Chains A and B, each alone.
Chain A
Amino acid sequence: MVTAIGLAAALVVAACGSTSQAINPADQTGTLTVWLMNGSAPQSVVDGVNADFKAKYPNVIVNVEIQQWSNVTTKLDTAFAGSAPPDVMELGNTLVAKYGYNGALADITGQKSSFQNSGTWLQSLTDSCTVSGKLYCVPYYAGSRAVIYRKDMFAAAGATVPTSMDEMLAAGQKLMTKYGSDPNFSALYFPGKYWYAAAPFVWDFGGDIATQSGSQWSGAINSSASQQGLSVLQNLVSKLSRADKTGDELKQDQAFAQGHIAMIIANGWEVGVITDKKSGNPSLLPNLGAFPIPSHVAGQTAPVFLGGSDLGIAAKSQHQALAREWVGLLGGTKYQSQMVTVGGVIPNTTSLVTLSSGLPAIFAAAAKNSRFTPNSPNWANVESSNVLQNMLVAIFTGRSSIPDATKAASDKIATILNASS
């Protein structure tokens, strides 16, 4: 029975390959289903894309369906396994490799040049879409981290915006001296599982998570450079942070809004959460500043992890050309500009990064020096096994030494990345 369904699915896939491209756009019919995640694109952007699409394809119906984050991989796994997954779906950029490699996403390498700005897409996002040299998605938007700080606290403590990691420690220590008697105060609030804020420290000293030679991965998180970065971070955390050493970053904005924190490492959009008039504290806005995570080399900045989302097209979609058209609109100049100005995110192309102004510009600038996680279809398994998070917790709580914790993590990462899937 399983085979029977498999065959049926194969037939469906084969059948849709024969869609004729020669039809006049106005005569095209069908329904295009698009999944976007809750909170990703402002409604006005979605409406605009749909209106432009409708103008060209008046007889095609577009259903944009908003999906929830909770257990999203379960939803994606089943949808791709089914006979009719959505034609277009937004995917977190660390998930693309896994779905692309396993045949869920359409290979769009041949059509890359038909997408606007494809020559200037952010390198890290393009990397996230590329598996074994093939392109499986179009970059959608990016997020990068920098330090959000309280200008008023810095001024009161006589601290200045740091331009090196040493200066960051020094500034933090001044803040601790000034405010440390408050048991809730953290100069730098750093929850123990916050891996994406720890990665810049590793990268800055020349370390890495894993390196590839041929098809073989080897763990690099225990290299001496990686360990050096982690020990600098450990020192910062032990002296400046009173955050939960086993907690994650999910509520750091709400904590920051309470007013007992001077610095957090955060995404650009978190400014909005901190100053949200319902759940945050809008009065903090004038006192908020941001600076890139400094390098250990004075005057430089540390490479940051580039988060974000991509737009994929299902391999089983029966409307490949229409799907690419819709994706092209949302990923193109017109609506990417709106994503910056209305949505406040980093666009998918370097040509539009300059549209950011104010605080977002600092985050957008940080995105220029960005890195991505090892691009392997197994990387998602490293993430879902919490290897790096557990390593950080072991280091910060003192349960293991840095050499022991990184060695254990490195071995585990190599095992997972080299596993045949």
Chain B
Amino acid sequence: MRRGIARTGYDAIGVLVFAVMMFPIYWMVSTALKPGTEILSLTPYWVPNPITFDNFKTAIAVPFFWNDVVNSLVVVLTVVAISIVLAFLAAVAVARFGFRGRSAFIVMVIAVQMVPLNALVIPIYLLLDSVGQVDSLLGVIAYYMAVVLPFMIWTLRGFVHNIPVDLEEAAMVDGASRVGAFMRIVFPLVAPGLVATAIFGFIQAWNEYIIAYVLLSSSSKQTLTIWLASFTTQHGTDWGGLMAGATLTALPVVVFFLLVQRHVAGGLTAGAVKG
């Protein structure tokens, strides 16, 4: 009984925290649903009345919107898919092997994360320019991979470390094939870590602005964050469009999370726990 009351109390606090954290999000979504006259008003409108989808319609009608969606998806999925493989391999090496240079590799992985990325804009541009990858999705993909890899390796390392070596060997002794052993025993243990790391990489690459803006100039090659910037012009900001755009940009990540959230709870970091 007491436990029940305590839980109800915690639930109440939980809902309160939810409300506070979500208030800006609520404001964003409700603004996206408001007609223009209610958006900038000296007395705020709490609930859009009437609800309108005009802002979403204008946001989607921006020229090249669907191009941007495709480009963002291509960039982000490529970055996530490749870097998760590379990060996993490196994580296995660091977690399972002692080798000359391991300490240096670890230090590098941590140190790279300390570099203020805005200071690299010029050097990165000149590097990609010298290899002809300015205004090309490939250049952006390579840069994003280099930026998310250190964090991914770091997270996955602790995670791989947590899997008992005996498990793999036991499965093999039982006569399972290599792949079979992996699929049945190891993969389920690594999967949450991979998912959690993938979310991180996804969000980083999905939301990056300055490098994408500097590198991608052709309208047909730009990504969604540049589309978001198009709501701010010299003539002011289209708040309704911007908020609709931001909502649309955030939604895929939320949906992805809800789909995988069971795995994430354990995963987001079981790895890091032993980090």
Indicate if A touches B (C-beta under 8 A).
yes
Check A386 for interface membership: any CB of B closer than 8 A.
no
Contact (Cβ within 8 A) A82 B126: yes
Contact (Cβ within 8 A) A254 B122: no
B229: chain A residues at CB < 8 Å are 68-70
Interface string of A252-282 (1 = CB under 8 A from B): 0110011010000000011011001111110
Given A39-B235, A71-B213, A273-B235: A84 in contact with B122 (beta carbons within 8 A): no
- In the complex, A184 Cα to B40 Cα: how many Å? 14
B230: chain A residues at CB < 8 Å are 38, 68
Could you tell me the distance in whole angstroms from the C-beta of A173 to the nearest C-beta in chain B? 23
Contact (Cβ within 8 A) A5 B40: no
Contact (Cβ within 8 A) A79 B42: no
Given A74-B210, A75-B214, A78-B125: A69 in contact with B233 (beta carbons within 8 A): yes
A277: chain B residues at CB < 8 Å are 36
Within 8 A of B (CB), among A190-227: none
B240: chain A residues at CB < 8 Å are 278-279
- In the complex, A253 Cα to B41 Cα: how many Å? 13
Given A39-B235, A68-B229, A260-B42: A79 in contact with B37 (beta carbons within 8 A): no
B41: chain A residues at CB < 8 Å are 258
Q: Which chain B residue lies CB-closest to A143?
A: B234
Contact (Cβ within 8 A) A278 B217: no
Q: Which chain B residue lies CB-closest to A8?
A: B130
Could you tell me the distance in whole angstroms from the C-beta of B237 to the nearest C-beta in chain A? 8
Contact (Cβ within 8 A) B39 A82: no
Within 8 A of B (CB), among A54-104: 63, 65-71, 74-75, 77-79, 81-84, 86
Contact (Cβ within 8 A) A74 B214: yes
B134: chain A residues at CB < 8 Å are 82, 84
Check A365 for interface membership: any CB of B closer than 8 A.
no
Interface string of B222-243 (1 = CB under 8 A from A): 0000100110111111111000
Could you tell me the distance in whole angstroms from the C-beta of A186 to the nearest C-beta in chain B? 12
Contact of B234 among A69, A78, A84, A184 (CB under 8 A): A69
Could you tell me the distance in whole angstroms from the C-beta of A414 to the nearest C-beta in chain B? 29
A258: chain B residues at CB < 8 Å are 40-42
Contact (Cβ within 8 A) A83 B210: no
Q: Which chain B residue lies CB-closest to A251?
A: B236
Contact (Cβ within 8 A) B126 A67: no
- In the complex, A280 Cα to B197 Cα: how many Å? 44
B37: chain A residues at CB < 8 Å are 281
B169: chain A residues at CB < 8 Å are none
Interface of B, secondary structure class, is helix
Q: Which chain A residue lies CB-closest to B35?
A: A278
Contact of A279 among B130, B218, B236 (CB under 8 A): B236
Q: Which of B40, B54, B234 has the most CB of A within 10 A?
A: B234
Check A23 for interface membership: any CB of B closer than 8 A.
no
Contact (Cβ within 8 A) A66 B39: no
Check B121 for interface membership: any CB of A closer than 8 A.
yes
- In the complex, A304 Cα to B43 Cα: how many Å? 35
Contact of A5 among B42, B130, B236 (CB under 8 A): B130
Within 8 A of B (CB), among A3-28: 5, 8
Check B204 for interface membership: any CB of A closer than 8 A.
no
Interface residues on B, range: 20 to 34
Could you tell me the distance in whole angstroms from the C-beta of A270 to the nearest C-beta in chain B? 8
B125: chain A residues at CB < 8 Å are 78, 81-82
Could you tell me the distance in whole angstroms from the C-beta of B74 to the nearest C-beta in chain A? 19
Check A37 for interface membership: any CB of B closer than 8 A.
yes
Q: Which chain A residue lies CB-closest to B118?
A: A74
A260: chain B residues at CB < 8 Å are 42
Contact (Cβ within 8 A) A253 B236: yes
Contact (Cβ within 8 A) A254 B214: no
Contact of A78 among B39, B122, B236 (CB under 8 A): B122
Check A250 for interface membership: any CB of B closer than 8 A.
yes
A38: chain B residues at CB < 8 Å are 230, 233-234
Given A82-B125, A84-B134, A260-B42: A65 in contact with B219 (beta carbons within 8 A): yes
- In the complex, A157 Cα to B71 Cα: how many Å? 57
Check A35 for interface membership: any CB of B closer than 8 A.
yes
B214: chain A residues at CB < 8 Å are 74-75, 78
Interface string of B64-108 (1 = CB under 8 A from A): 000000000000000000000000000000000000000000000
- In the complex, A173 Cα to B251 Cα: how many Å? 51
Could you tell me the distance in whole angstroms from the C-beta of B56 to the nearest C-beta in chain A? 13
Contact (Cβ within 8 A) A273 B130: no
Could you tell me the distance in whole angstroms from the C-beta of B76 to the nearest C-beta in chain A? 20
- In the complex, A269 Cα to B129 Cα: how many Å? 38
Contact of B218 among A8, A65, A71, A273 (CB under 8 A): A65
- In the complex, A75 Cα to B122 Cα: how many Å? 10
Contact (Cβ within 8 A) A70 B219: no
Contact (Cβ within 8 A) B235 A269: yes
Q: Which chain A residue lies CB-closest to B130?
A: A5
B236: chain A residues at CB < 8 Å are 250-251, 253-254, 273, 279
- In the complex, A86 Cα to B230 Cα: how many Å? 20
Contact (Cβ within 8 A) B219 A68: no
- In the complex, A67 Cα to B134 Cα: how many Å? 15
27 A–B contacts from the bound complex (CB under 8 Å):
A8-B130, A65-B217, A69-B232, A70-B213, A70-B229, A70-B232, A75-B214, A79-B217, A81-B125, A81-B126, A81-B129, A82-B125, A82-B126, A82-B129, A83-B129, A84-B134, A184-B42, A250-B236, A251-B40, A251-B236, A253-B236, A272-B235, A273-B236, A276-B36, A279-B39, A279-B239, A281-B37
Q: Known pairs A68-B226, A278-B54; list 9 more (Cβ under 8 Å).
A: A63-B218, A68-B232, A70-B213, A71-B210, A81-B129, A184-B42, A253-B236, A269-B235, A279-B240
Interface residues of A (CB under 8 A from B): 5, 8, 33, 35, 37-39, 63, 65-71, 74-75, 77-79, 81-84, 86, 184, 250-251, 253-254, 257-258, 260, 269-270, 272-273, 276-281
Please give me the 3 A-B residue pairs with the lowest Cβ-Cβ distance, nearest first. A68-B229, A278-B36, A78-B125
